[in-house]
Amino acid sequence: MIALPELGEYNPFYQPYIDQLKGVDLLSKLSTQKVEIAELFKSIGEERANYAYAEGKWTIKEVLNHINDVERIFTYRALAIARGDLQSLPGMDQDNYQLNARKNLRSFDSLINEFIAIRESSIHFFNNISEEESLKIGTASNNPVSVRALAGMVVGHAAHHIMILKERYL
């Protein structure tokens, strides 16, 4: 079991993601989200994947690509910190990542399958760390962050974007 993070274990920038976790069992939510999110995107379909709700906003396909990129990064950070890597881990520029992604050359279905694979990998990693490892704190984006906060950020980040997707796109 991974307990929810406490204040001070993450940059306040990530509070909207952590706020998504009230009453959540992180490990269970990783698994249920995998199914819920995959089913939601499959229900949208390829024909609507390039829809954006306003000029300059990401398309549905780009939102999924972003969720995939960020989950990889948060889980890598958790791995590095859990394994005792003392280096300061770099931040990311989400817009630059999006600009350089080859998402338009890929099918929406391939991005959904990628999400499932990434989430499976995250589930295996987080299910197999000890409580001691979950409490380790490292530095990412020049701020302290715990492994359990990163697990929470994986769940909360995806939940945040699914909420926006439902409110503004669907």
Give 91-117 pLDDT, tens digit per residue: 999 999 999 998 778 999 999 999 999
Residues listed for the chain: 170
Q: Count the Cβ atoms, other than its own, within 10 Å of residue 21.
A: 18
The secondary element (H helix, E strand) that includes residue 116 is: helix 108-127
Indicate the pLDDT class of residue 1, thresholds 50, 70 and 90.
confident
pLDDT value of position 90: 95
The secondary element (H helix, E strand) that includes residue 37 is: helix 26-44
pLDDT value of position 62: 96
Work out the mean pLDDT of the chain and round it to a whole number. Answer: 96
Domains in the chain: ranges and CATH? 12-169 (1.20.120.450)
135: DSSP letter: T
pLDDT value of position 102: 85
Q: How far apart are CA 158 and CA 81, in angstroms?
A: 21
